[in-house]
A and B are shown apart, each in its own frame.
Chain A
Amino acid sequence: MSIMVEPDGSGRFGQFGGRFVPETLVPACQELEVGFREAWDDPAFRGELDHLLRTYAGRPSILTECNNLGRQLGIRLLLKREDLNHTGSHKINNVLGQALLAKRMGKKRIVAETGAGQHGVASATAAALLGLECKVYMGAVDMERQALNVFRMRLLGAQVEPAMSGSRTLKDAVNEAMRDWVATVESTHYCLGSVMGPHPYPWMVRQFHRVIGDEAREQCREATGADPDVVVACVGGGSNAIGIFSGFIDTKARLIGVEPAGGAAVGRGVPGVVHGMKSFLMQDEHGQVQEAHSISAGLDYPGVGPEHSYLAEMGRAEYPSVTDEEVIGGFSLLAKTEGIIPALECAHALAWIAREAPNMAGQTVLMNLSGRGDKDVAQMMDILK
C-alpha cells in the first residue's frame, strides 16, 4: 500500500479527511485544490518558494546532535532545528507557501487562526513581506498566556481578534476564522495553520512541510550513516509531525507523534467531523466537541489532522501522550543539558523521549524541535517560581 501520497478525489486518507464545509465554501476549496495543484507542478512557483525559504526563512535548518542529553539518556539524540527558522518555528514553511499561493490566486487578504501565536506570527510576517492584509483569530485565553506573540503580530501590521466563545482557545479561533472566511471568501484566503481542515488543506500543508523530513533524511544519513530508529514530534493539528514523518515513511523508523494528555485526539478520541474534516476527535456521546486542556496553547486542540488518524489506524505511527508535569520536566531538561530552550509544544516530544529512553537504549532518536521557547518564558516563569 502506498501511503503519504495524494489523498483520493474526495480528499480521503482511508476513511478520514473529506470536505465537510458549508456550501458557501465549496467553490473556494475546489479552486484552492486546483490552484495548489497547478502551483506545485509549476517550476516557477516552486523556485520562488524555494528562494524565499532559503533567503528569508533560513532553510535548510540544521541538525544538532545532543551529546550531553544523549549520554544521560543512553541514546543517540538528534534535533531537527526548526526553532532556528525565521519567526521561530516550523510554521513559516507552510505560511510562505500559502501566502505565495494566495497572491497567485488574486487574493488580497488572509485570515488565520492561531494557538500559541506561532502560526499567527508567521502569517503576519508573510503578509507584511508580500503585501497582503492579515487578520488573526486567537482564543482570549491564549492571548493572555502568549501575550508576547500578540504584540509581535500587531507590530507586523496584523489585526488580532480575540475568540471569546467556548474554551477560548485554538478550537474557537478556528471557528472564528471559518466564520470570517464564509463572509469574505471572494477576496480572502484562509491560511490554515496545520494539516487539518477541509480538503485540500491537510494534503497541501503536508506538502509545504515535507521539506523538514526531506532535509532531515539527508542530514541524518550524513551524520550517522543510516536512518534513525525512532522519529519523534509533538502533535497539535500535526503539521510539524507530518513534515518530519514524510521523510521517513518508507524507512523502518518508528514514527511517534506525542499528544498532550489533555488533548489526546488519537489517544482518547473517536471518529468525528468538525472543522471540515473527519478525524479522531475528543467528544461526548452526543458528538459535542470536548475542550482540550494543555499547558501548551499550540497543542490545546481536541482534534487532529486526518492523515494522522489514518497513520494511527493502520498502525504506521504511534500516538502516546505526556502530562503537563512531564512537559515542564522536558522543557528544563533541554535547556540545562544542551543550552536550548524549546517551545512548550516540542517539550512534549522531549518528555516522551526522556520517559521512554530506557526502552530505546543505544538507538538513534531524531526529534523535530518545532519551535523555540522564547514565547513561553513568561508563562514558565510563573510555573517554575
Chain B
Amino acid sequence: MTGLEAHLRTRRSEGKKLLIPYVTGGLTNWKEGIRAAVAAGADAIEVGIPFSDPVMDGPVIQDASQRALEAGATPPGILAEIPTIDVQVPIVVMLYYNTVFRTGHERFASLCRNNGVSGAIVPDLPLEESGPWCEVADAAGIETVMLAAPTAPDARLPRIAARARGFVYAVGLLGITGERDALANTATAIAGRVKAVTDKPVLVGVGVSNADQAREACRVADGVIQGASVVRRLMESGPDAVGEYIAEVRAAIDEN
C-alpha cells in the first residue's frame, strides 16, 4: 500500500474528490461495513478506536463506542483485525490520545505499522502537544493527520498544515460529531482558509451529514469525511445500507 498522502494526491490529480467514511472498530459488522464502503467508492477508511470518554463525539459515535467496548473491543484487538479486512485503500485510525499514551508511543506506532495502518487522527492532541507522538509516528511511517478548527487564527493554519501528514482535517463546525440539518457556513470557510496555505489534501469532517452537504463542502474542499451518518446506518441497518449510502455520496461529489 502506498502512503495515505500519496494515495490521496493521486486520486485528486485524477480529478476525483476524496471520500473517507468513518467506522467504529469493534462494532457489530464493522469489517463488513468497511468492505461495503470501499466497494462503493471510498478512497480511504477511518477506523475509530473506541474510548471511554470521547469528548469530541456526539450521541451516535458515543453510542457506537460504548457498544464496541461492551462487546470487548480493545485497541490492540482492533488493530490486529485490520489486516483481515483486506481492502485496497489506506486505513487511518482515529483515536483519543490516552490510547496512544497508555500503550506507549513507540509500541503504538509499531502496532499500527505491523497491521498495515497508514495514518492516525488524534483529535485531543493539538499542535503544541503533538511533538513527542509525531516524531515517533514520522519515524515509523505513520502519517499523523492534523485538525484545523474554525476558531484557529490565520497565523496558526500554516503551522498546522506543515505538521500535518496524509491530509489536513478541516473541522466543519464549532461542535462535536453528529448529523446536522444543514452544512454550517464554517465548513467551506475553514476549508478555503486551509487550502489557501497548503497544497496537501484538505478534507472537511464533523457535521457533513448527507450527500447534498458533501457535494456542497466539496465545492471548496478536496473531500469529506463521513462519520455519524455512516455509523448510524451501520448500527440501524447494517453493512448494505453503508454501501448504498457511500455510493450515493460518491455520485454526489463526483458531480462537482
Seen from chain A, the residues whose Cβ lies within 8 Å of a Cβ on chain B are: 10, 18-28, 165-166, 171, 175, 178-179, 182-186, 270-276, 278, 281, 283, 285-289
Contacts and interface: CB of A to CB of B under 8 A. Distances in A.
A24 B174 contact: yes
A286 B96 CA distance: 12
B249 interface: no
B152 A27 contact: yes
B53 A286 contact: no
Nearest to A178: B55
Given A273-B101, A286-B76, A24 B149 contact: yes
A287 B101 contact: yes
Contact of B51 (A18, A178, A288): A288
B190 to A, nearest CB: 10
A272 B55 contact: no
17 contacts: A21-B124, A24-B171, A26-B126, A26-B149, A26-B156, A27-B153, A28-B151, A179-B56, A182-B55, A182-B175, A184-B174, A271-B101, A273-B98, A273-B101, A275-B55, A288-B52, A289-B98
Interface residues of B, number: 41
A22 B152 CA distance: 11
A289 B150 contact: no
A283 B102 contact: yes
Given A23-B126, A183-B176, A287 B53 contact: no
A175 B55 contact: yes
A22 B66 contact: no
Given A23-B149, A24-B151, A287 B128 contact: no
B126 A286 contact: no
Contact of B99 (A27, A171, A281, A287): A287
Contacts of A285: 102
B98 A22 contact: no
A20 B75 contact: no
B116 interface: no
A28 B149 CA distance: 12
B62 interface: yes
B74 to A, nearest CB: 5
Contact of A18 (B55, B99, B129, B173): B129
B56 A22 contact: yes
Interface of B: 51-56, 58, 62, 66, 69, 74-76, 97-99, 101-103, 123-129, 146-153, 156, 160, 171, 173-176
Contacts, number: 117
A185 B53 contact: no
A183 B151 contact: no
A274 B174 contact: no
B209 to A, nearest CB: 15
Contacts of A286: 74-76, 99, 102-103
B53 A175 contact: yes
Contacts of B128: 10, 19, 26
A272 B101 contact: yes
B148 A23 contact: yes
Given A20-B125, A286-B102, 12 more contacts: A23-B127, A23-B152, A24-B149, A26-B126, A27-B151, A165-B62, A171-B53, A183-B176, A184-B174, A285-B102, A287-B51, A288-B52
Given A19-B126, A23-B127, A286-B103, A166 B151 contact: no
Contacts of B151: 23-28, 185-186
B101 A22 contact: no
A287 B75 contact: yes
A21 B126 contact: yes
Contacts of A166: 52-53, 66
A275 B55 CA distance: 8
Contact of A289 (B52, B127, B148, B173): B52
A192 to B, nearest CB: 13
A201 to B, nearest CB: 15
A179 B62 CA distance: 12
B93 to A, nearest CB: 14
A20 B129 contact: yes
A166 to B, nearest CB: 7
Contacts of A272: 98, 101-102
Contacts of B147: 22-23
A21 B53 CA distance: 13
Contacts of A273: 97-98, 101, 124
Nearest to A287: B102
Contacts of A175: 53-55
